[in-house]
Structures are given as structure tokens and as C-alpha cells.
Structure 1
């Protein structure tokens, strides 16, 4: 596991306690170093302080969740502030648990064991959607890469989902995720029955694998069906107004537009991939590109090698 804290005393204390409990522990002094270490060798668990310069614990968690290669890494937020806002923000961006400093060692170890146990259970199947989880997703992509057969990888997530959760609560957010999962399954059943795969990385992140010839149609159909359904997720007043208002991290009221979906596509139709991480990186790049324009959209990588 990886401990991330800019306070060397706290970092060393955590390292000693966790090592004494039988865990292999690495230490990062800040969020930037943590990202480098995770990219080199992803741990099962990251325990990160919140208040750090440059890349804080919240941003580190976001970065881990946004990358399919690290989305399965469990995260415990370590904070000196027992504030509900910190806890809620941590959960909203994908943290698995939190610990308030100064921590009690037995509680720390109990939370670590609990998070690791839940993580193991979730990797084969998402408890929220029932779709294949992170381990099966990676196995599917690796099998496609190894086979040499053509395929397209679609990486999808929602825009403004954190604001939606903050405004309406996690229960409403979970309903959106569950409906999106069903929508994706229905689209695959309608367009490519028996020749496709969909998995749930966690949060609002999904991965689909389809024949390259069907990728554009699948992405476009998911976008259309989600946009048709999206207004129904909002209360009437918010729907008519066209935005919701929530507190941002600076404690200021900020307006957010309705939920949209972004999909990035990597395809073997014009290029070959040698590794799971390579195809994921291209799909992630395309997804991030779509987020530069407003509204739901998708983009496919058309570069050749």
C-alpha cells in the first residue's frame, strides 16, 4: 500500500503501524510523488492526507479514479479536520473511507482491513450495477489485445456528476448510474448482441468493448438515449431553470449545467496496440478531448501507426 503525507512524522508513524500489521508499505511525501509511484506499480490501497501542496488528497483521488489503470485502487482519506464537508467531498470523488487525525491504531487497522475486503469483493463485479468490475475488465481487454482480433474500446463517464451528487444526494446519483448501466446493456443488445462487453469501473466510469464497425453507432446511440433521459433526473424547478447551484470547494455557490456523457474511443481498425495500458490511454485521451466541448459527445481516435 502507499501512504501519502507531507508531514514526515505522520507518514513514518503510519508506515511503522502498517508494516507491523504485516502490510508492505511505500511512502510518498506529496501528491505528485504519489502519482509517479502509483503509475510505476499500482498499490491495493492509498492512504492520503487531504491538506498537501500542489496536488492535495482530493485531487489525487480524482486522478486515480479518472484513469482505468488505477480506478480500482482503494483510497482512504486522512484528514485533521473532522468536517462533514471534507468527508462528503471525499466520498463524492470516490474515496472508500476516511480517518480523522489523530488516529487510533486499532481503528486505523480495522478500516484498512474493511476497505481491502470490500475492494476484493468489488473487483469481480460492481455491487451497484452488477456489471463486471475492474479485474474482469482488464482481463477482457488483455484477451482482445492478445488475440490480435479487431476491437474498439469505449471509455465513458458523466460530466457534472459530482455537482449532481452534492445537490441531490448519493441515492439519486446511484439511480443515475444504475439506469446508465441498463441503457448501455440495452444498446449493446440492440446493436451488437453477443459480440460486446460492458463493465463498470466504479463511480460514473464505464468501459465497453465492441467491433470497430459498430463503435460509432454504439457511442452515438448511448449519447442520444442518455440525453433523452437526463432531464428526468432533475426536479422540475431545476429542469426549467437549466442548472443547479451547489457549493464549490472554495465555499462559494456555483451553477452547474445538466448531466451529460462523454465517450472516448480507441480502435484497432487503423492501429495496433501491444498492451492493455496503451489502448486505455488512447481511449482516455479521446474522452478528455470530448470534455473540451459542452454537451454530450463522443470522439474516436483516427490516427494510424
Structure 2
């Protein structure tokens, strides 16, 4: 993997309010700052309650070893202004076992002593899920390009290796013109469902499936899982797309329809093509670089009839390159 030497800058990934003693607040602030999570510090319960309303944090972490913290926690979860904020309670096993109102539960618990990295991982998971739910495409039900950009930026900053599977629905424009946009939306939803199910069955828990718009999707997974996920998506879409056509169209392998000039023409069936881009050998610093590399790979694939994905090319010894560097 090529490691970037650029300075890690950019807007914060989220805001976490922490109520604890000064030493622990500073330790967590230092660790969270490394992944660009801003920390709002509160030295007591009243300050935590006030800042939860005025500072609007994405997550609140409360230390139950501080007196009356559980009461403050119940107030946070009971108030309409703050009840939606995830609350993580941290403390000793004994302090965390103290009862609260049955209908009020924390979103997560951290038992002291703990590794600060546990808090970082937990905070990142909550922030990632929050952002995904905020950036939903109305047709596919998937997060969009903004979420893809955010998660790629996080992976780059953390210097993690990843694989991006770029999916393109072939011939969707003609399909929309022949069958209508409602049917086209069904094809888009089908691609979204297939990608999501493939990740659920063969990917990783925190993999991203995003809808970049129109007929393009992206799956961000690990290199090790990318081949299986990619092949599952393509095979399942090829199977399900048959429900969008008549028996005769499927037998012919095309649809006959008048073009804009009123002349009957043969139109191919829709299908999925996939490009796979990783940062194992090529460093990417921006999500648009990944899209450009994937688009170049798809253009290369289009010159080989019957080939729908990068792995078929690799096995045939025709692996594409980006700027002279192998994609994976």
C-alpha cells in the first residue's frame, strides 16, 4: 500500500460531548482528535445537560462514577430536545449496575478500565451510522455520494486498505424510454437490494453500499471480500432482472421498440457491469479519483463483449491499468 504523506486536515467527522474527570477527558480528547472527532468537555452534570442542548453534539458520553450522573442521563433521554442523541455510559462494573428507569436505556456501555481506542471505534460507528441515515436516496433507500466521500476520506486518513466496487446499470436510459420511469425505478431498487444483500451475506459489518445517482452504485469493502461480493451482486442481478421482461423478450435477448425516428430497433437488456478499484498499490486521496479510475476501467471492459467485471479480465490476463499502474 502506498501511504500518503499529506497532512491530515479537513472538517471534523463529528462532535462528542464527554462528562468525566479532567484527566480522562483529556485522554479521550487526544485520541478522538486523531480521527478528527471534536470533543465538547463537561466537568459536571449540569454543564453536560446545558451543553447537550446548546452545543448539539452527535454523541454524549457520561461517566457514572460522578455523583448524580444517572439522574442527568435520565433527563437527557426524557427531554424532547436531547432524547435523540445516542448516550454512552462509562464506569466501573458496579457503578454501571445501578438501576435506571426501565423505559430509559443507554445506547452503549463502556466498563472501566478500558482502552481509549474502544471509545474511538464506538464513536466512529455511531457517527458513520448517523451520517448514513441522513444521506438517503429516495429511490434506492441507500446513502448517497456525500456518504461515500465521507467514508473514503475516513479510510484514507486512517491509512486503511479498501476495495471499491463501482456498479453501472447498462442500458437503463433505453429501458426507461421503452418501459417508463416507474419500471426504471424498480430496476434501480433491484440493484440496490442485490448489492445490499451481497454485502450482508459475504461482506463485512461496516461495509458501505451507496447510490451515487442515476444508474451508478458503489460498494466499499475489504480487498479480501471484494471478489466474492462483486460476483454475488452480478449473478443475482442477472437472475432477478428477468422479472422486468416478458418471456419473449428474454428468449430473444433483446427488446424491439421504435426509436426517436419511428424506426423499429433492437435494444439490449439491462445488466450490471462492475469495476473494482483498490488502494493496495495506488494511493487515492479523494473519492473522485476512485470514480475516475473505475470509469476508466469500465470503459476498458466495454471493449470485451460478454465481460461484465474486472475479475473476468484479470483471469483472462487482460487486467486494465490506471495511469500505467495496475488497479489492484
TM-score past 0.5 threshold = yes
Q: What's 2:305 paired with?
A: 294
| Alpha-carbon contact 1:242-1:258 (below 8 Å) kept | yes
Spell out, residue by residue over 1:87-110, the C-alpha distance to the aligned partner (whole angstroms, 9 max, x if none).
Answer: xxxxxxxxxxxxxxxxxxxxxxxx
Match of 2:215 in 1: 204
Task: Determine the C-alpha separation between the residues in 2 that align with 1:265 and 1:170.
Answer: 29
Distance 2:161 2:268 in 1: 37
Deviation, structure 1 residue 249: 4.8
User: Which string of whole-angstrom CA distances, capped at 9 and with x for unpartnered residues, describes residues 4-61 of structure 1?
Assistant: xxxxxxxxxxxxxxxxxxxxxxxxxxxxxxxxxxxxxxxxxxxxxxxxxxxxxxxxxx
Aligned positions, number: 184
CA 1:296 to 1:187, structure 2 compared with 1: closer, same or farther past 3 Å? farther
Instruction: State the superposition RMSD in angstroms.
Output: 2.3
Partner of 1:224: 235
The answer as to 2:188 corresponding to 1:171 is: no
Could you tell me how far 1:276 is from its partner in structure 2? 2.4
Distance 1:145 1:254, change over 3 A: farther
Shift of the 296–230 alpha-carbon distance from structure 1 to 2, 3 Å rule, reads: farther
Equivalent residue number for residue 245 of structure 1: 256
Match of 1:129 in 2: 140
Q: Distance in 2 between matches of 1:136 and 1:127?
A: 15
1:110-125 equivalences under 5 Å are 124-125=135-136
Where 1:127 maps in the other structure, the secondary structure is coil
Matches of 1:295 and 1:252, distance apart in 2? 27
State which of 202, 206, 209 in structure 2 corresponds to 1:191.
202
Secondary structure (helix, strand or coil) at the match of 1:176 reads helix
Cross-structure match for 2:171: 160
Deviation at 1:123, TM superposition (A): 8.7
| Mapped contact 1:195–1:211 kept (Cα < 8 A) | no
Distance 1:304 1:172 in 2: 38
Cα displacement (A) at 1:242 = 1.8
Pick the structure with more helix per residue: 1
Does the CA-based 8 Å contact 1:260-1:295 persist in structure 2? no
Distance 1:209 1:145 in 2: 13
2:272 equivalent to 1:261: yes
3-state DSSP of counterpart to 1:153:
strand
Normalising by structure 2, report the TM-score: 0.52
| Distance (Å, rounded) in 2 between the aligned partners of 1:159 and 1:225 | 15
